[in-house]
Amino acid sequence: MAGVGLLGVVVAQTPLEEEELESQLVGVERPFGDGQFMGLAIEGNALMLRFYDEEKQLIEPQAARASAWWKPSNRTGRERVVLNPSDDGLRSQPKVRPPHVFFVMLTLLDEAGEAMGTHRFDMIELREASESAGGAGPGSRY
C-alpha cells in the first residue's frame, strides 16, 4: 500500500510497516458500534476500558464515562465502580481483587450521563488468554 510522505513524495509501505499494524487490543474483546471494538482489562486492580477501530488500533474513548458492577466469587454482594477518562481509555479506582472469575456488567455513559448501552464481559477470558500465551498456570492465582 502506498502513502504520501512529508514532502509529497509517494512512499511504498514495506512489510515491516504492515506488521506494526498488528492488533493492539488488550483485554476481553467485545464489538462496539460499526466495526469498532472495546477491550476490558484488569490493570493494577483497576478496570481499564479501551476502544479500537476496525483494524483493532487504539482510538479515543467513545464514551465519556462508564459504570460497572460484578459479583466477586469470594464475597457476598456486588462490587461497583465508575470508570473515568484516563490517558488512553476509561479507568476505575483499584477495587478489583482476585480471583478474576466473574462477569462484569458495564454501562457506557455519554457526556450528559445518558446510557449508551450495557455490555457483559466474562473476565475468565483474561485467564484463558494468559494460559494460552504461557502465563498463569491452572493452579495460579492472579
pLDDT tens, position by position, 57-114: 999 999 999 999 999 988 899 999 999 999 899 999 999 999 999 999 999 999 999 9
Q: Kindly list the structural domains of the chain, giving each domain's residue range(s) and its CATH number in brackets, ordered by start.
A: 26-132 (2.60.40)
pLDDT recorded at residue 45:
95
* Residues 112 and 65 sit within 8 Å (Cβ to Cβ): no
Q: Which is higher by pLDDT, 21 or 29?
A: 29
